[in-house]
A and B are shown apart, each in its own frame.
Chain A
């Protein structure tokens, strides 16, 4: 690691031989960027290169000293393993469920908050509060104070003795995530609503368009970009959900809520299958790159709008 840092540092020096004004200017421009860039390269890329290497070894930490090179065997094992496939399906279900529901609720709340009423800023503060509660605290709160069959709030208010977590494990996890992420969606969509031109809407109203027509034909198309952005950013954050699984269900019952992060965590620190965990990690990275490519496209389109302003 140190050699890489040293070599990159040398490069920050302007070339010794004939310095043209242009080259010098380029380095002056680059200098403020380099510390952050080098730091990000070292801390994020080295672990990934190391993961690639580890994924070709048959290495179980319980058998120290014995870690032969096995090529792509770990990938074969992982891809043919039903556990990973079910973890993948769970990841998609949990992420999609949480994103879709928090998006719908967030849109409704944003539409409410876009109106003028007494105490609007107080209500906005109330609505963002769930997002600010520490995720692990929120997960424990929902597990014990809300879902608990004996003294949880749901059964306490509505009666009954349903054990919400074991009856609806995915639903319980999704409900907790939706509660935390609705404020995020609401904030993004509210920003979208508030960037709408009021004159145009007023003009449509004068022309006799009703509220629903205005929403369908004007607000929704205008919001499209914000909806996409919310969905993609939400997916990027939520695909990595670990806190809620770890504390609410421990991936269970069975593997009903084991998502990819939790499965890889189990493979690494419970089964000590380092090679397989690395291969699974690489696969997750590839999947993320596919999703992220779409995300970047959306972000770049927002970016272009900004340039044109």
Chain B
């Protein structure tokens, strides 16, 4: 009986991941083989599609995505960590209201802010500029990071902090010696999740960037044109742009649920 459930779980896992496997397989095919029906399972793998993708200049798009994701993640962590501290270990008076203000900004649909953002950004001459995306992704991920970091900071035992204070440890010492060692895995998970959301963001990018600051998702959309056979090439590009997040997500998988539920579920 136990073995049966294991088999069922394995089958379910493989069925779920199958489209991803298929994407990766197809990316190593020639276009002729990729467009065959019935689908071909045996083929000579080729890197031609990946070469094509790089020939079509995916590199600047990847670099833009990398820049927007990394810088926004740094800013988010730098803003959210002290804020989370002021909402957990040494809370301000109205800390619950503040927490709910942060989460309410996350619930606002981006589409309602699109036009004013577009007009303001255009007015400031910042359209198609990667720093615009850095600022917007920072604000997009800030509530998530505040909530997540707060839930990690709450795990710091108060007794230890108070004992440190009694022993005359200053704020910096207790941050370095007590808080940081405990929350650093949480900090890493928060950063990875912010990175994932920034990397995958499409809606703002497609409306506010073009050729200069276009990110990886924009490359993908511009890439599919109506020129005959393109499936294998599309799969190569899709695999390439998904790879950083797949790696980040696999690394952060134990903390993923906590991040996605804003720290509500451990």
Contacts and interface: CB of A to CB of B under 8 A. Distances in A.
Contacts of A288: 107-109, 112
A143 B5 CA distance: 32
B19 A134 contact: no
B181 interface: no
Interface in A236-267: 236, 239-240, 242-243, 246-247, 260-261, 264-265
Interface stretch (A5-13, A72-80, A117-125, A197-205): A117-125
Given A131-B249, A150-B37, A117 B79 contact: no
A229 interface: yes
Contacts of A108: 12
A168 interface: no
A73 B73 CA distance: 42
Contact of A134 (B91, B102, B112, B238): B238
Chain A interface size band reads: 35 or more
B110 A240 contact: yes
A129 B243 CA distance: 11
Contacts of B17: 126-127, 129-130
Residue in B93, B112, B234 whose Cβ sees the most chain A Cβ within 10 Å? B112
Given A43-B136, A265-B207, A127 B16 contact: yes
B8 interface: yes
Interface in B1-58: 2-3, 5-6, 8-10, 12-14, 16-17, 19-20, 22-23, 26, 34-39
Contact of B207 (A44, A140, A156, A269): A269
B260 interface: yes
Contacts of A47: 113, 116-117, 120
Contacts of A302: 264-265
A166 B134 CA distance: 37
A155 B36 CA distance: 11
Given A32-B86, A51-B115, A229-B261, A144 B93 contact: no
A112 B103 contact: no
A20 interface: no
Contacts of B3: 117
B17 to A, nearest CB: 4
B134 to A, nearest CB: 12
A296 interface: yes
A19 B104 CA distance: 34
Contacts of B266: 191, 195
B191 interface: no
A184 B118 CA distance: 31
A74 to B, nearest CB: 12
B246 A133 contact: yes
Nearest to B224: A140
A4 interface: no
A151 B231 contact: yes
Contacts of A120: 9
Contacts of A107: none
Interface string A163-197: 00000000000000001001110011011100100
B262 interface: yes
Contact of B12 (A46, A127, A192, A284): A127
7 contacts: A37-B101, A40-B139, A54-B119, A123-B9, A123-B10, A132-B245, A281-B109
The 9 closest A-B pairs by CB, nearest first: A117-B6, A32-B82, A281-B112, A36-B83, A50-B116, A132-B249, A33-B86, A126-B13, A137-B238
